[in-house]
Chains A and B, each alone.
Chain A
Amino acid sequence: MNCDELEDLYGLYALGLLEAPELAEAREHLGRGCPRCQQSLRQAMEMNVMMLGSLSPIMEPPAALRGRILASVGARPAGRFGMAWLPWAAVAATLVMAAWLGNDRTQLRSAITRLEAQASEERQRLGFLQAMVDLVAAPATRQVQLGPAAPAQGRVYVNAERGVLLMAANLPELQQGRTFEMWLVPRQGAPVPAGLFGRGPGGTGLHLRPGPVEVALVAAIAVSVEPTGGSPAPTTTPFLIAPLGP
């Protein structure tokens, strides 16, 4: 086939749908650096991108999807986890007062801005919760007890695709300038930092380390007390350990 005959087929090639014998012909032309075919392929890819972006009917994604995506890259919701109470009543009162006084575009705009910011925070928290639920509920997730540091107790949920979730209770008080740090302890080599978390109300602890985990290479999940900001290696002996077994 010549370049003219192939020109109309590069759209299919760019989609991965060109079949033999045309596929072999296209590859042969491109493989020897045919400039005409390179240009045709580029035009075809341009067209494909425009087609993909232009012909799909608009569909709104679910509101919680943004939060899920952010949670999966480790974005933490603002404020303490534990679902800080939204002062809807206070903001609503501001809106009502502004309307009653009849003056207040400025106040209304401020109130709307605050509401939008709070709604965004809540979406992030919701996404964080969703990521945790997805991990715990996934069929391939393993659950391992944390120990031995009574009264502190807890468990970890480990999923090779989704990450590691730690849930603990009765954690010790933290001195100022200290934090809890989670570690992935490999079967060989030094522990790998897996994120920081604080002590919640009543001594609870909740931490999600998102993303793939090479479970076969991890001997245990551990927790130690470290300086605020974390450490590249444990500076204290981990007090909670969840061995993953062979």
Chain B
Amino acid sequence: MLIPLLFAAVAEGDGDLIRRLRAREPAAVGELYDRYGRAVYSLVRRIVRDPSAAEDLTQETFLRAWSRSHLLDEARTSLGAWLLTVARNQAVDFLRQRQRRLHDHAAVEELEDNALLDGLERLLLNADRAKRLQRAFARLPERQQQVIELAYYEDLTQTEMAARLQQPLGTVKTWMRSALRTLREELVADPIS
């Protein structure tokens, strides 16, 4: 079952929410949760698979929006995109600590606050492109779907995937590259003007 794109109708109010978060209005966190809580929880739960941990991590994600609201640009930041990125980072950090694996997470932490996240609101407003992405994913060969899910939901490097799947590293890299190229081409086929 695929989650419908939840953000198309609500991204418009993100600027006001950011202002209210910065003004330390607790009710703004409630509205933020009402808009994005289910999507965040669904993503975290998918990654950690532990309901209790998923609750804690979802809470941490929204607390982070509260404590880091000063870093958000009310004119450009997509709260949905920002929350999902934070949620994934929290979830994979949890998995990493539980499994005692170390990754170079510096790139991801940097990107979480990076201005490149700004302006994604336009993208998230385009539900049609999201549906095409979902269909493109569904059309991928099984092995390519598998490596995509291992990357997005289990935070495995290609080396770790090769070990898990008992395949040569070169084979896994080929699958991953092909999958990402297919999905990327689906997105750029109809670029946002």
Picked from A8, A16, A75, the residue with its CB within 8 Å of the CB of B30 is: A75
Cβ-defined contact, B107 with A59, below 8 A? no
Cβ-defined contact, A8 with B177, below 8 A? yes
Minimum Cβ distance to chain B for residue A155 (Å): 26
Cβ-defined contact, A12 with B111, below 8 A? no
Picked from A13, A16, A59, the residue with its CB within 8 Å of the CB of B105 is: A16
A-B contact count (CB 8 A): 178
Cβ-defined contact, B37 with A50, below 8 A? no
B158: chain A residues at CB < 8 Å are: 12, 17, 19
Cβ-defined contact, B80 with A53, below 8 A? yes
Picked from B39, B41, B54, B58, the residue with its CB within 8 Å of the CB of A53 is: B39
Cβ-defined contact, B43 with A52, below 8 A? yes
Given contacts A59-B41, A65-B37, contact A54 B3 (CB under 8 A): yes
Cβ-defined contact, B130 with A53, below 8 A? yes
Instruction: Give complex CA distance A11, B2 in Å.
Output: 21
The stretch that binds B, out of A36-44, A94-102, A140-148, A235-243, is: A36-44
Instruction: Tell me the B1-59 residues at the A interface (CB within 8 Å).
Output: 1-7, 26-27, 29-30, 33-34, 37-39, 41-43, 45-46, 51, 54-55, 58-59
Cβ-defined contact, B151 with A12, below 8 A? yes
Cβ-defined contact, A73 with B26, below 8 A? yes
Instruction: Give complex CA distance A43, B159 in Å.
Output: 24
Cβ-defined contact, B37 with A15, below 8 A? no
Interface centre among B38, B39, B42, B58, by most A CB within 10 Å? B42
B33: chain A residues at CB < 8 Å are: 66, 69-70
Q: Does A111 contact B (CB under 8 A)?
A: no
Cβ-defined contact, A56 with B3, below 8 A? yes
Q: Does A68 contact B (CB under 8 A)?
A: yes
Instruction: Tell me the A1-43 residues at the B interface (CB within 8 Å).
Output: 7-9, 11-19, 23, 27, 41-43
Closest A-B pairs by Cβ, 5 of them: A16-B108, A75-B26, A61-B41, A56-B46, A11-B180
A residues neighboring B (CB under 8 Å): 7-9, 11-19, 23, 27, 41-62, 65-66, 68-70, 72-75
